[in-house]
Amino acid sequence: MVPLAEAWDSGARNWTTSRRQAYANDLGDSRPLAAVTDNVNQGDQDPATWMPPYASARCRYIKEWVATKIRWRLTVDSEEKNALTTWANNCPSTTISVTYAY
């Protein structure tokens, strides 16, 4: 869900090679697998600059983005946080459960 370039900017640059490989090949959480088709349009953008074109997909995207950031203990910059907060106001209450990757 969170592109590699965004992960790098959010803390992955400080990871070991094996942790970066684990992130790139993460099969321990099914959420990112469902988003592969949108990843082509998303590029390396975060929610401050890109959201899914269909309103019905945005809440799921936000949930999966936040879950991935938490799972991998990645940082969130202020523009990204503001965008997530703004977009999330349009979503019903959602619980995010996460298993940390490490």
Locus of tokens 């929610």: 47
Which token pair is 101? 């990757």
Q: Give residue 34's pLDDT.
A: 47
Banded model confidence at residue 81, pLDDT cuts 50, 70, 90:
very high
Q: Which helix (H) or strand (E) holds 17?
A: helix 17-24
CA distance 88 to 101: 24
| Residues present in the chain in total | 102
Banded model confidence at residue 38, pLDDT cuts 50, 70, 90:
low
Least confident of 10-14, 37-41, 73-77: 37-41
Q: Give residue 40's pLDDT.
A: 55
Query: What's the whole-model pTM score?
Result: 0.85
Domain ranges of the chain: 4-88
Rounded to an integer, the average pLDDT of 22-37 is: 70
